Structure 1
């Protein structure tokens, strides 16, 4: 618990005791925030408080939220357990493998698919970057793969580091090529300005087809 002894008050101590009886630990952190923020997690009540707030004000605010935390803790635990169960089901459930946009005649579970996608992308990636870097006229210093659910790719322009989503091999290889072109173009333009899209179109005239295909999925591009 991130509370210094000198910060404690009788009201705060009582709040800590009530929470402890319900199996909840109190964690208080002073931050550059305007208001007191509460976040209830399994067996943990996280509180962010402004740096300027007094110990008395902090104790009063936390004490008021103790009944809420105790009343909702069971639901938070249930949701957490449900998420864990769902994750376990996803990792063990088998389904047909899509590889470069083509259904394969065998099934794999989620973890096996991820390993397969990583191998496939690692195999083709060097040749694809070798192909597209001269066309775009930009060179990446580092290329990495990452399990990204909300991004197909991203680019750190300062480090000239490009990340690709390991889920890309589920789609036609042209989609991966488009993501590579997209991220390489960010080394010329660190935004999505008209000049950026013109650079993409110059390098890959049919990019819109692959952009639209990926746009209908869960990932995005940075």
Structure 2
């Protein structure tokens, strides 16, 4: 079965379109980010798909709101044995209770938390969030420098924040880029994809044909990176013995 991909923006909502040898059009809204995917018959064109999505917008928005409101993960207790992801790799948490300042270290397959015995779980989670942000702050500058040179642009400012429905965003007026803290849990290729994606918005606001051509030119494997990024739930960790 042949397939053709398109990338549309419909009233502010990004839509992935797959044209297939099928009879009917199907619209799905998928966790964790509320990604909208359309499987469309090959006889339809982008404008016909756009109209079909517009007709279903109330339903799509309800589905996205439900995903946005849903709990993202079982809250971490921050105890030895839990699993956490670091740059796409699953790490077992080991807690070492000892006097001194709280900090994290990578030790092979383990993520080690050094912390005083009386540190509450809430504070441990806050330290982990800060550690993830620090990981991104170390990784992002090199990527931005690389792609500033490749795209011949300047990124005047970028920040990290927790986002429920996006991996990144770009303010075209201020040229300020934002990156989701959850990217520190994903493979480094995924972070680079988001960096390039957001910087490409300097040239094109929407996810239309021009945007797709620019991505194809500068990062030819961006689709596989996007699938890798969206292939695992946002902020969802595994407990020992299962998901």
What's the TM-score, normalizing by structure 1? 0.55
Deviation at 1:214, TM superposition (A): 1.8
Instruction: List aligned pairs for 1:49-64, cutoff 5 A.
Output: none
User: Which residue matches 1:101?
Assistant: 88
Q: Secondary structure at the match of 1:92?
A: coil
- Specify the structure having the higher radius of gyration (Cα): 1
Answer yes or no: is 1:135 the counterpart of 2:120.
no
User: Which residue matches 2:136?
Assistant: 121
Alignment partners' CA distance in 2, 1:181 and 1:156 = 14
What's the Cα RMSD here?
2.6
Alignment partners' CA distance in 2, 1:125 and 1:103 = 21
Deviation by residue 1:81-103 (Cα, 9 ceiling, x = unmatched) = xx9xx89x725354322111112
Aligned length: 135
Which of 126, 147, 160 in structure 1 is aligned with 2:162?
147
Higher strand share: 2
User: Which residue matches 2:171?
Assistant: 156
Answer yes or no: is 1:92 the counterpart of 2:77.
yes
Higher helix share: 1
Which runs of 5 or more structure 1 residues have no equivalent in the other structure?
Answer: 1-82
Q: Secondary structure at the match of 1:210?
A: helix
Pick closer, same or farther for the CA change 1:164–1:133 going to 2, 3 Å.
same
- Farther off after superposition, 115-124 or 98-107: 98-107
User: Which residue matches 1:165?
Assistant: 180
Contact 1:175–1:210 at 8 Å: present in 2 too?
A: yes
User: Which residue matches 2:205?
Assistant: 190
Pick closer, same or farther for the CA change 1:209–1:121 going to 2, 3 Å.
same
Deviation at 1:111, TM superposition (A): 3.0
Deviation at 1:130, TM superposition (A): 0.3
Contact 1:91–1:111 at 8 Å: present in 2 too?
A: no
* Higher RCO (C-alpha under 8 Å, 6+ residues apart): 2
Which runs of 5 or more structure 2 residues have no equivalent in the other structure?
Answer: 1-68, 92-109, 114-123, 235-243
Deviation by residue 1:94-149 (Cα, 9 ceiling, x = unmatched) = 43221111122136664343222101000111111001122123322210000112
Q: Secondary structure at the match of 1:188?
A: coil
Pick closer, same or farther for the CA change 1:217–1:139 going to 2, 3 Å.
farther
What's the TM-score, normalizing by structure 2? 0.50
Q: Secondary structure at the match of 1:149?
A: coil
Deviation at 1:211, TM superposition (A): 0.7
Alignment partners' CA distance in 2, 1:107 and 1:197 = 41
